[in-house]
Amino acid sequence: MTRAPLVALADWRLPGDPFDAVEQAHALGADGLQFDLGGPGRGAWLDAPGTVDRLREACAARGLAPLAVAGNTLNDIGLTAPAGSEDAARAEHVLIRVLDAAAALGAPLAFVPSFRRSAVHDLADLRRTAVVLARAAREAEARGLLLANENGLDPERARALAEEVAVPSFRLLLDTYNPKVAGVDVLALVEATGAWIAPQVHLKDGTAGVVGTELLGDGDGRVWEALAALRAQGSAPDALVLENDYRDGDPRRPALDLARARAHATDPAHTRS
């Protein structure tokens, strides 16, 4: 019998620091957490001396699985920075820190985004991003990790990026609402890139391309249809990670979203709770 996926939260979408996120996730009954590396404007660095060890112990004490480390600060640096530039060196340094933090935390996945300064606008950006990600994916493989990239690319370019990277440990991280924001059909994206989609999927919803306060399934993101499309391709995820914005501190919305995601994880025909 196939095991139901874990239902988890992202610490950067909760109020407070990563240790606060552990307590909130435990109180809400989540199975695990993804963590952000941090950085300027994004909170304290996750890999500050002793922090990862304490966080790993806190997760173990609360029965939470550390699922991934994200390098969201790369949106402020740029994966597409020209080779040899100061920003390119900074980006590669951050990538190694993300991988080392994930390995130390005991998480199976590290992922990096391609938005804002890391966004892929043209073929040159795509090729430069692929070079950087291929190098990082080989480093991930050496650490026993998967490396994923989260982006807003259309199906053809997303597939082209994965093919250009061409490293077995590389994946694409699916967020169920990013395609809507980018004007992309999420079902077409899954069909084109299913073979590369990471085993952890971000769930969020919204209306007309804007993430608001809609519960999962109440917006126009086709959340459950996207998961059904993944399963149809034999790519059932290991973890469903809620990425709606819960930073207002009200526990009711994350509790309701967790219940909906868990009901769907247990019985995919169930889309509401």
- Annotated catalytic residues are 150, 243
Reference 108, options 64, 143, 139; nearest CA is 143
Cα 166 to Cα 124, 131, 169, 170, 230, distances in angstroms = 17, 10, 9, 8, 21
| DSSP for residue 76 | G
d(CA 240, CA 271): 14
Task: Give the amino acid at 43.
Answer: G
Quickly list DSSP for 139-160: HHHHTT-EEEEEE---HHHHHH
* Virtual torsion, Cα 231, 233, 234, 237, nearest 10 deg: -50
d(CA 203, CA 259): 13
The helix/strand/coil state of 40 is: coil
Cα 103 to Cα 11, 48, 260, distances in angstroms = 18, 15, 31
- Which tokens in the block code for residue 111? 């992922």
Residue with tokens 């804002």: 116
The b/e string for 230-249 (b: 16+ C-beta within 10 A; e otherwise) is: beeeebbbbbbbbbbbbeee
Residue with tokens 């990563």: 18
